[in-house]
Amino acid sequence: MSKFLKYFLAVLLGSMVSALFFVLGLFMFIGILAASSGGEVKVADNSLLILDLNGPITERSSQDPFEQIIAELTGDVAPAGLNEVLAAIKKAGEDERIKGIYMESGLTMAGYATLEEIRNALIEFRATGKFVYSFAPVYTQKAYYLASVADKVYLNPAGMLDFQGLSAVYSFYKGTLEKLGIEMQVFKHGEFKSAVEPYILEKMSDEARLQSEVYLGSIWDHILEKVAAARGLDPEALNQSASGAPVMMSDEDLLATGLIDGFRYKDEVLSELKVLTDTDEKDDLEALSVGSYSKVYLPGKKKKGLEKNKIAVIYAEGAIDNGSGGIQSDKLSRTIREARRDSSIQAIVLRINSPGGSGLGSEIIWREVKLAKETKPVVVSMGDLAASGGYYIACAADSIVAHPNTLTGSIGVFGMLPNTQGLLNKIGVTTDRVTTNDFSDFPALDRPFNASEKALMQAYIERFYGIFLQRCADGRNTTVEAIDEVGEGRVWSGANALELKLVDKLGGINEALAIAAGMAELEDFRVVELPEVLDPFQQIMKSLSEGASTHLGRQILGEHYRTLQTIGEWQNTYPVQARLPFDLELN
């Protein structure tokens, strides 16, 4: 035993020393990285801006060195910040030294509204007379939607292009829960509130299928319209091409669809770009990444921070109070409150990309949005998702802007608590209790709810749904009855929502900023992004405690990580949820 303890302590001590050296080395590496990145970036004449979006796109750049290191070690692509990408494209359009944009974004990972934002920025860039070229060995459907706006869309001769229509696949856990001996006890209001269905059904309900068909159809029609316009094609002919599965077409048939301009190897594309930029064939192209270009100030332009008046863009990304990062109601509320009290901030744009979450958390954030609106203009800009609780926190704003392919609405509430009695019996565990009152042990997870408890829970759900309806009715200057007609938990596309007056305008964050500036009567202003980005040391500590474990889970479990994460979230969530149905992921 003593020998075992000696070896065990030696191994433990060695592991601790190794971990210490790893952390010290990591900090040294970060210091070198930070020092090397602080220099001035030179922009040569006839340069290209490189858009490499082969990876996830988040709402804003995190500036997290640890995230970049993990990406380098694993071979993954670090997330790109939408805010940084849009700023780079806009700046490049004004920069006479930038001749065009070259995109390699065939495997981008983002929602259609995010891609719509970038796509619109590229259209504005092309309007300056500059070019956009796109090349990829493989285009996913989302990547092609982005690429279709380019002057030239090239594909590797052995590559593949996916453009065959929208689909959304939902996972159901009822069979798994039954095998484990767990019964999900569900309470909801809204016939379309299908977020609970994966836990109690084995396939979609008729209502869930109907709403999915409506919003998928709306988004697909928009995609067809935009791609057809960009490529000079007929939408109906384009839809027929999609039905023919371009990913399996011969080269001749694919070219005949008009989806691409030709097949090229990368060296051939680079040679073509050299001609466009007056670069000698033997020389390298002058090119800058988005990250490098973000450090560049344009000659003759005001530097950031000189404008006195400010508009705050406050980011609300992720699920609300669901125990896995995302939106934390107390922190977001504090950020909104600080912006409201800051006299230099003349208006607020609340950028929401959220499927919702805790009903209580949504109410807490709603209150701060309402108070801010009483002090200064508040405009909401919706990203890929602003549904259920995401719509709850939006409805109090002066104006709501969404993309046609934003998923929003889902005005409904549900509660869900497991009964684990069957699981406990399977493993030989029994429970007993002593109580002083009828509901002393409510809610109990080791037994089924009795009739009185079910009635109590359902009444609470109905009461909260009534509050949700009233919040929306007050914010949209309409009646509770009118909101209820388009509510019942039903999900809508942004285009649907505009028709139903759930949103005020279609567009992106720039449109929201323009509305906010007009309401605040500002001609000149600067944008401040909140909450403030953590400094590198804080980012590293946060990543070590949270991000690294999440990343490791994704690496080990792959596509199953999100499923297990979704199930695990319910262990620590507020029992009343205002959340988007299912865990939506469109192809």
Give the residue numbers annotated as catalytic, written as ranges.
193, 388
* Preceding amide of 448 cis, omega within 30: no
Write down how long the chain is.
587
Q: Which two tokens stand for residue 158?
A: 């052995």
CB contact at 8 A, 111 and 88: no
Q: Is residue 313 within a helix (H) or strand (E), and if so which, with residue range?
A: strand 310-317
Q: What are the residues facing 401 on neighbouring strands?
A: 381, 505
Residue 257: partners with Cβ closer than 8 Å, 6 or more residues away: 238, 241, 244, 246, 249
C-alpha separations of 361 from 6, 433, 569 in Å = 51, 32, 15
Q: Which two tokens stand for residue 532?
A: 């403030």
C-alpha separations of 302 from 255, 278, 298, 525, 530 in Å = 46, 30, 8, 11, 21
What is the 3-state secondary structure of 535-555?
A: CHHHHHHHHHHHHHHHHHHHH
Measure the CA dihedral 78/80/64/23, to 10°: 0
C-alpha separations of 275 from 122, 133, 152, 268 in Å = 21, 13, 14, 11
Other CB atoms within a 10 A radius of the CB of residue 79 amount to 20
Residue 576: which of 412, 428, 445 has the closest Cα?
Answer: 412
CB contact at 8 A, 176 and 422: no
Buried b (16+ CB within 10 A) or exposed e, 491-519: bbbbbbbbebebbbebbbbbbbbebbbeb
Integer Cα distance of 410 and 402 in angstroms? 15
Residue 55: which of 114, 125, 102 has the closest Cα?
Answer: 114
10 Å CB burial of residue 16 (0-12, 13-18, 19+) is exposed
CB contact at 8 A, 483 and 190: no
Integer Cα distance of 149 and 194 in angstroms? 35
Quick one: DSSP state of residue 86? H
Q: Among all chains, which residue has been given the structure tokens 């939902």?
A: 170
CB contact at 8 A, 506 and 401: yes
Which of left, alpha, beta for 224 (phi over 0: left; psi -120 to 50: alpha)?
A: alpha
